[in-house]
Amino acid sequence: MSVDPKALGKVAVQELGKVAVLLGGTSAERDISLMSGSGVLAALQSLGVDAQGFDPAQRDLTELKKLGIDRCFIALHGRHGEDGTVQGALELLGIPYTGSGVMASAVAMDKVMTKRIWLAEGLPTPRHVCLAPGEHSAEQVQAVLAQIGLPLIVKPPREGSSIGVTKVQIAGQIAEAVTLAARYDADVLCEEFIAGEEVTCPVLGEGASVQALPVIRIRAPEGAYDYQNKYFTDVVKYHCPSGLPEAEEREIQRLAVASYRALGCRGWGRADLMIRASDRQPFLLEMNTSPGMTTHSLVPMSALAVGIDYAQLCLWIVSHARLDAQPPVALAAPAPAA
């Protein structure tokens, strides 16, 4: 199931045409997107790709047609970038783009809808309660504790990068946690806390040809894998190879691929999971359809473990840009570093 470096393919740079790297945007993850996009842009340009940056927060997307852009690398994160909206606009403009299509992007961005699909497919995910607008009264919030118990995680279901997320350990914390999450989303997701190891697994391709990259095991100080530690410190330890037993690694990869296929994802993505310490049962947390590409990001780290450097990964991803109506691009894994 993992990428075989011996079967890695080459990408013809001259066939890509003019590439726009979409970065920045208007979401709460704008700063991270600017870092991701800047890295992608520099990598593509270093390989001779005719690439330029494009910030939808500062320019109208219709300018892409005027610029003669042939394809877009979506390095946007969060709302209006990872949720199907930009994908839909590019569909209307007829400009192929990286990553999942409109429906898969929209569904994967919504953690509640994602859970409904995974549960329907028999895939493991933590128990949860969704508080809709108007359901944030003290009684309704306290009722969550009876359904899920403590500790639990409270988060906005349509944000990423741990924005608005709180680990609730005592009953008195839940009201404040719901208030915080509601600043970012009308709905609030309350989720069973899984005590154990956090892991992530990137995937490439689509359909029957999806391939899993190596699993990364994440060790954060006191479990604080939050926004600050994800992007702006070096205190988090990443283990790739993961050091997990071979059977556990294979099972995480299997679940990553199954969860990706269930949502209809394509191009690339990254599944985040927890392994429960008590019985080593893995649980799917979320699917990222436009993962980070910063210096701290996990997809490049995993790819490098099988000999695929950052620039070649970016080149492979953009070479597989397409529209929903187009047939899948034949999978050839990215070329390894020389």
What DSSP character marks residue 209?
Answer: G
161 is an active site residue: yes
Beta partners for 22?
54, 74
Instruction: Give me the catalytic one of 24, 29, 164, 248.
Output: 29
Nearest to 179 by CA among 143, 115, 131: 131
Whether the CB-CB separation of 22 and 90 falls below 8 Å is answered with: no
The catalytic residue among 292, 297, 302, 322 is 292
Per annotation, catalytic residue among 288, 297, 302, 319: 288
Where helices occur in the chain by DSSP H, the ranges are 30-46, 63-66, 85-93, 102-109, 111-120, 138-148, 174-182, 227-231, 246-262, 298-304, 310-319
Q: Which amino acid is at 279?
A: D
Active-site entry in 161, 242, 259, 319:
161
292 has catalytic annotation: yes
Max alpha carbon distance in the chain (Å)? 61
Catalytic residue among 83, 191, 197, 272: 272
Is residue 29 annotated as part of the catalytic site, yes or no? Answer: yes
Q: Catalytic one among 97, 231, 260, 310?
A: 231
Catalytic position from the list 71, 158, 217, 270 = 270
Catalytic residue among 191, 286, 302, 310: 286
| 270 in active site | yes
| Single-letter residue type at 133 | P
Under DSSP, the state recorded for 243 is -
Q: Phi, psi (5° rounding) for residue 106? A: -65, -45
| Catalytic (active site) residue 184 | no
Note if 288 is an active site residue: yes
CA distance 251 to 245: 10
Distance CA 250, CA 212 (A): 9
Residue 124 neighbours by CB under 8 Å, 6+ apart = 118, 255, 281, 282, 283, 284
- Residues 229 and 218: their CA atoms lie apart, in Å, by 11
Which residue has tokens 């590409």?
Answer: 293
Instruction: Count CA within 13 A, CB hemisphere, residue 74.
Output: 36
> Is residue 213 helix, strand or coil?
coil
Angle, helices 310-319/30-46, rounded to nearest 10 degrees: 90
d(CA 329, CA 117): 25
What is the C-alpha to C-alpha distance for residues 221 and 236, in angstroms, rounded to an integer? 7
Active site (catalytic) residues? 29, 161, 231, 270, 272, 286, 288, 292
